[in-house]
Amino acid sequence: MRTPTRFFPFGLVPRSLLGFCRNVGACLQAIRNAPQLAERGIACKQAPTKGDEFDGHGGFEQMPRYLPRLPLFKHCTLAALLLVAAGARAQDKNFYVFLCLGQSNMEGFPGIADEDKQWTDPRFQVLAAVDFPTLQREAGKWYIAAPPLCRPRTGLCPADYFGRSLIEHLPADVRIGVVNVSVAGAKLEVYDPTAVEAYAAASPAWRKAMIAAYGGNPYQRLVELGRQAQKDGVIRGILLHQGEANTNDKEWPAQMKALYERLLKDLNLKAADVPLLAGEVVGADQQGKCASMNEIIATLPQAIPTAHVVSAAGCVCRPDHLHFTPEGYRELGKRYAETMLPLLGAKPADGR
């Protein structure tokens, strides 16, 4: 005769195991109630009498027959191990997560072409950093990565075609997730927890509103979302597009190094496992207003050995010579992907 089963998302589970799982909460409650139980003369290390179990309120009730007669301590230990195993099972090692930060070009200049809106492949997802009321997205939840990825009223950004390109050239069982916490027109100080309050106070109203959207601390929001993402997948890299507001600042590489190392520490990551990809700003070939910053960005690998610079040469810009066009964002995003693919053990697309 077959063991009765019940269907769960991860497969068929014997009813006996389901019964045990129902006692997990009671066992953990028993641990919390230990002091009160001791006062009543009930020792948690003592085995319960035959047929007894904690009822979750400090008392006992009839124990199901299928549970072995083990001391309560062992039941609680097994319950804890079961919870740890369940948590480990929830993390998908083939769900590659990338943290994205920077200025308006990482946000994406407002306006999304129709050809870029129609994205429905669930292999590429975004963890919403803020609420998107119009798109019915809630902060802290995963969604199919149709733009915008950063905040409402932003546009296509390099992360869009970065993710789309990766899933095109990685095995079918690999998924990509991005977390985008970017602030237009902001210096690197906006990601310094010790300086952001003063920086926000001195900012114009429009930037204050952007910083406020992240709870007043973009760095902390990025870390919180990063930790959440680690429960679902594995952080495999950091995408940066920042520098216009720090143009000609020779201290920028050192500041970026400090930020990178702080992120690694706070998320318990190793540099060798999480490379930093830094994109150039609009280049001299496009008469970029901040093109001189690219000379400084080029030195970043000297400060951070695991940093890689992504060229923006030839990426078309808008008339302001600060922001890329949708065509420019598509090309730049693909270049981020081409840089990342070998670091993931894959070959760049089409030999590019």
**CA-wise closest residue to 76 among 108, 45, 104, 49:** 45
pLDDT band (50, 70, 90) for residue 93: very high
- Read off the pLDDT of each residue in 139-158 and give the average, rounded to a whole number: 97
- Identify the burial level of 208 via C-beta atoms within 10 angstroms of its C-beta, where 0-12 means exposed, 13-18 middle and 19 or more buried: middle
Verify that 98 and 56 share a domain, yes or no: no
Rounded distance between C-alpha atoms, residue 242 and residue 249, angstroms: 12
- Where does a domain end: 52, 70, 89? 89
CB-side neighbour CA atoms (13 Å) of 96: 27
Verify that 59 and 111 share a domain, yes or no: no
> Exactly one of 55, 273, 285, 320 is catalytic; which is it?
320
Q: Which tokens sit at 13?
A: 């589970």
The owner of tokens 């006996």 is 16
So what's the pLDDT on residue 309?
Answer: 98
Verify that 123 and 50 share a domain, yes or no: no
- Read off the pLDDT of each residue in 181-207 and give the average, rounded to a whole number: 97
> Exactly one of 104, 165, 182, 203 is catalytic; which is it?
104
Instruction: Name the β-bridge partners of 101.
Output: 181, 240
Verify that 13 and 100 share a domain, yes or no: no
CATH (domain of 116): 3.40.50.1110
Verify that 49 and 169 share a domain, yes or no: no
Instruction: Answer whether residue 261 shows pLDDT above 60.
Output: yes
- For 54, the domain range is 5-89
More confidently predicted of 3 and 250: 250
Rounded distance between C-alpha atoms, residue 15 and residue 112, angstroms: 51
C-beta neighbour count of 181 within 10 angstroms: 28
Beta-strand relationship, 11-14 and 5-8: antiparallel
pLDDT in tens, 198-236: 999 999 999 999 999 999 999 999 999 999 999 999 999
* Range with lowest mean pLDDT among 39-53, 80-94, 163-177: 39-53
pLDDT in tens, 40-85: 333 333 344 444 433 333 333 333 433 344 454 454 444 444 444 4
**300 in Cβ contact with 126 (< 8 Å):** no
Positive or negative CA dihedral for 123, 129, 131, 132?
A: negative
Query: What is the H or E stretch that residue 326 is in?
Result: helix 326-343
Verify that 133 and 199 share a domain, yes or no: yes
* 285 belongs to the catalytic site: no
Rounded distance between C-alpha atoms, residue 100 and residue 244, angstroms: 16
- Read off the pLDDT of each residue in 276-298 and give the average, rounded to a whole number: 98
Rounded distance between C-alpha atoms, residue 260 and residue 161, angstroms: 23
- Where does a domain end: 89, 111, 138? 89
* 273 belongs to the catalytic site: no
pLDDT in tens, 103-122: 999 999 998 999 999 899 99
* 104 belongs to the catalytic site: yes
| pLDDT over 90, % of the chain | 71
Verify that 193 and 306 share a domain, yes or no: yes
**157 in Cβ contact with 106 (< 8 Å):** yes
Instruction: Answer whether residue 256 shows pLDDT above 70.
Output: yes
Verify that 144 and 254 share a domain, yes or no: yes
Report the SS3 class of residue 239.
strand
pLDDT band (50, 70, 90) for residue 348: low
Verify that 61 and 108 share a domain, yes or no: no
How would DSSP label each residue in 103-125?
SHHHH--S---HHHH----TTEE
**CA-wise closest residue to 193 among 145, 135, 258, 140:** 258
Instruction: Answer whether residue 329 shows pLDDT above 90.
Output: yes
Verify that 264 and 229 share a domain, yes or no: yes
Verify that 52 and 135 share a domain, yes or no: no
Report the SS3 class of residue 127.
strand
CB-side neighbour CA atoms (13 Å) of 8: 11
- Read off the pLDDT of each residue in 225-254 and give the average, rounded to a whole number: 98
DSSP tag of 227: H
Verify that 95 and 196 share a domain, yes or no: yes
Count the domains in the chain. Answer: 2
- Read off the pLDDT of each residue in 186-197 and give the average, rounded to a whole number: 97
Rounded distance between C-alpha atoms, residue 196 and residue 105, angstroms: 20
- Where does a domain end: 89, 108, 139? 89
**CA-wise closest residue to 54 among 80, 33, 85, 79:** 33
